[in-house]
Amino acid sequence: MLSLTEKILLTPLALKKDIKVLWIEHDNVGNWLTKNPSLPLLKKLSAQVTTVCVSDLSAEIFRSLGYKNVVAIPNGVKEAERGKLKEPACRQGRERDDGILRIGCIARLSPEKGVDVLIAAMKQVPDATLLVVGKGPQYVQSSKNVTLRYEVPDIEQVYSQIDVLVLPSREEDPFGLVVAEAMMRGIAVICTDACGIAGYLTDGQDALIVPAGSTEALVEAIERFQVSGFREQVATAGKKAAREKFSVERMVKDYESQITNHTV
């Protein structure tokens, strides 16, 4: 069940018929829940169902609100179709002639996503460019090393053009699907500790994880990835981790386990 209406109206009916009920929570928690007059009822019902979040970060937030039986199952992502993704030169074992590190950020242009923090960091990093793909209320100005695209016909083309993907969220981001997608494609990633996916990763091994809202930390992480050997090492480990943790098959297996065995 996804919506609050479904949870409130359908859960009691399903429980009466002895049907296993899963509540799916993929959105970040806000006033829509914390100030909702139905929260006491939801907390009471949660003891009789299983609430599935996409990360331990989100799961802890729901537990802090009084929810019971909360588990985390990460989102699953598909690998790029064979032959569709063209790898950047750096991931083919050779550097581009210009020596420029190409960074990508795919995110909604709103304060909680922290795109402005990343753009501020780019002003301090030489020999790097940033491609931002997204829409939203926050104004982003293109510059010499920052390009903005509101939409692209094929997101795989974006992945094929970048060496590093950054998700600079400054507020709770339940998962961070683009990070998993980039890792699955062998792209080195940087994310903040406000991203739920960070809880599945190891800083310095399969990703770089930085404090949310810190321009200085982003600058340092980007500079670390300007060393191609280290970047390739993290990208390779990241792809392996993504295949193990974020495959569609793994996600389906975990949901099936919840439904049939009541455990993950």
Q: Which residues pair with 216 in a beta bridge?
A: none
Nearest to 194 by CA among 216, 212, 167, 175: 212
Instruction: Over range 27-55, report the average pLDDT.
Output: 97
- CATH class of the domain defined by 89-245: alpha beta
**Helical H segments across 176-261, by residue range:** 177-184, 215-225, 228-245, 248-261
What's the mean pLDDT when you consider all of the chain? Answer: 93
Q: Label residue 28 by pLDDT band (50, 70, 90).
A: very high
Is residue 96 pLDDT above 60, yes or no?
no
Predicted local confidence at residue 92, as pLDDT: 46
Stated pTM of the model: 0.92
Q: Which residues pair with 191 in a beta bridge?
A: 167, 209
The domain locations on the chain are 4-76+247-261, 89-245
Question: For 134-155, what is each residue's pLDDT tens digit?
Answer: 999 998 888 889 999 999 999 9
Question: For 167-179, what is each residue's pLDDT tens digit?
Answer: 999 999 999 999 9
Predicted local confidence at residue 2, as pLDDT: 78
Predicted local confidence at residue 139, as pLDDT: 86
3-state SS of 119-173?
HHHHCCCCCEEEEEECCCCCCCCCCCCEEEECCCCCHHHHHHHCCEEEECCCCCE
